[in-house]
Structure 1
Amino acid sequence: MRAPLLCVLVIQLLFLAGCSSNPPRDSGAAINVQISGDFAGSPEAKRFVQRMAQQHGFNPTETAAVISRAQRKQSIIDLMNQQAPSRSTGPNGAWTRYRAKFLTDDTIGNGVAFWQRNQAALQQAQSRYGVPPEYVIAIIGVETRFGGFVGKTRIIDALATLAFAYPRRADYFASELEAYLIMTRDEGVDPFQPRGSFAGAMGLGQFMPSSFHKYAVDLTGDGHRNLWDPADAIGSVANYFKGHGWQAGQAVAVRAQVQPGSNAGRLKTGFDTRYGVNELAAKGITPAGSLGGVTQVSLLQLDAKGGYEYWLGLPNFYVITRYNHSTYYAMAVHQLAQAIRARKGGVRLSASD
Structure 2
Amino acid sequence: MRFFLLLFVCFALLAAPGARALTLGKYPALRAFTAEMTDQHGFTLKQMQRTFRCARIRPEIVEAMERPKEQLPWYVYSKIFLTEDNVRRGVQFWKKHAAAISRAHDLYGVDPEIIVAIIGVETRYGRQTGSYPILDALTTLMLKYPPRADFFRQELAEYLLLTREIKVDPCRVKGSYAGAMGLPQFIPSSFRRFAVDFDGNDKRDILTSPDDAIGSVANYLEQNGWEAGAPIIDDARLEGTLYFWIEKLGQKPALTVRRLARYGIFPHRLDNAEQRAALVSFEGEYGPFYRLGFNNFYAITRYNHNKRYALAVYELGKMIRQRMEKHPS
Amino acid at match of 1:157: D
Superposed counterparts of 1:130-145, under 5 Å = 130-145=109-124
Instruction: State the alpha-carbon separation in 2 of the partners of residues 315 and 85 from structure 1.
Output: 21
Q: Whole-Å Cα distance in 2 between the matches of residues 117 and 309 of structure 1?
A: 36
> 1:335/1:175 Cα in 2 relative to 1: closer, same or farther (>3 Å)?
same
Contact 1:102-1:332 within 8 A present in 2 as well? yes
What does residue 63 of structure 1 align with? 48
CA distance in 2 between counterparts of 1:204 and 1:85 reads 19
Q: Which residue of 2 aligns with 1:49?
A: 34
1:121 is matched with 100
Offset at 1:178?
Answer: 0.7
Q: Which residue of 1 aligns with 2:220?
A: 240
Q: Cα distance 1:166–1:178, how it changes in 2: closer, same or farther (>3 A)? A: same
- Tell me: CA distance 1:98–1:78, structure 2 relative to 1, closer, same or farther (3 Å): closer
Which of the numbers 282, 285, 290 marks the counterpart of 1:310? Answer: 290
Contact 2:24 2:31 in 1 (8 A): no
Using the alignment, how far apart are the partners of 1:294 and 1:39 within structure 2? Answer: 58
> 5 Å matches for 1:248-327?
248-259=228-239, 261-265=240-244, 267-269=246-248, 270-272=250-252, 274-292=254-272, 294-327=274-307
1:115·1:122 contact (CA, 8 Å) conserved in 2? Answer: yes
In the TM superposition, what are the counterparts of 1:17-36 in structure 2 within 5 Å? none
* Distance in structure 1 (CA, Å) of the matches to 2:151 and 2:296: 27
Distance 1:233 1:293, change over 3 A: farther
Change (3 A) 1:67 1:265: same
Q: Secondary structure at the match of 1:254?
A: strand
Instruction: Work out which of the residue numbers 139, 156, 161 in structure 1 matches 2:135.
Output: 156
The equivalent of 2:12 in structure 1 is: none
Are 1:40 and 2:16 an aligned pair? no
Q: Measure the CA separation in 1 of the matches of 2:274 and 2:316.
A: 23
Partner SS state of residue 282, structure 2: strand
Secondary structure in 2 matching 1:345: helix
How far apart, CA to CA, are the structure 1 residues paired with 2:151 and 2:32?
15
Please state if 1:77 is matched with 2:62. yes
Structure 1 residue aligned with 2:167? 188
**Could you report, residue by residue, the CA deviation over 1:131-172 in whole angstroms, capped at 9, with x for unpaired residues?**
121101111111111111110111111111112333332221
| Gap regions ≥5 residues in structure 1 | 1-35, 88-93, 349-353
- Of 150, 156, 165, the residue aligned with 1:177 is 156
- Kindly provide the amino acid, as one letter, of the partner of residue 46 in structure 1: R
C-alpha RMSD of the superposition? 2.2
- Aligned residues of 2:180 and 2:186 also touching (Cα < 8 A): yes
- Name stretches of at least 5 consecutive residues in structure 2 with no aligned partner: 1-19
Task: Please say if residues 225 and 232 of structure 1, whose CA atoms lie closer than 8 Å, have aligned partners that are also in contact.
Answer: yes
Contact persistence 1:39–1:72 (CA under 8 A): no
CA contact (8 A) 1:183 1:213 kept: yes
**Cα distance between partner residues in 1 of 2:313 and 2:117:** 5
Please, which moves more after superposition, 290-299 or 310-319?
A: 290-299
Q: Which residue of 1 is the match for residue 13 of structure 2?
A: none
More helix by percentage: 2
User: What is the DSSP-based 3-state SS (H/G/I as helix, E as strand, rest coil) of the residue aligned with 1:322?
Assistant: helix
Distance 1:339 1:182 in 2: 39
8 Å Cα contact 1:271-1:326 kept in structure 2: no
Aligned residue runs from structure 1 range 95-110, under 5 A:
95-110=74-89
Q: CA deviation at 1:276?
A: 2.8
CA contact (8 A) 1:159 1:174 kept: yes
For residue 285 of structure 1, report the CA deviation from its aligned partner: 2.1
For normalisation by structure 1, the TM-score amounts to: 0.81
CA distance in 1, matches of 2:262, 2:191: 44
Cα distance in 2 for partners of 1:117, 1:86 equals 33
Q: CA deviation at 1:301?
A: 1.5
How many pairs does the alignment contain? Answer: 306
- Aligned residue in 2 for 1:28: none
Q: Displacement, 1:69?
A: 1.8
Alignment correspondent of 1:5: none
Q: Which residue of 2 aligns with 1:339?
A: 319
Structure 1 window deviating more from structure 2 (224-233 vs 73-82): it is: 73-82
Question: SS of the counterpart of 1:76?
Answer: helix
State the partner residue of 1:221: 200
Identity fraction in percent: 41
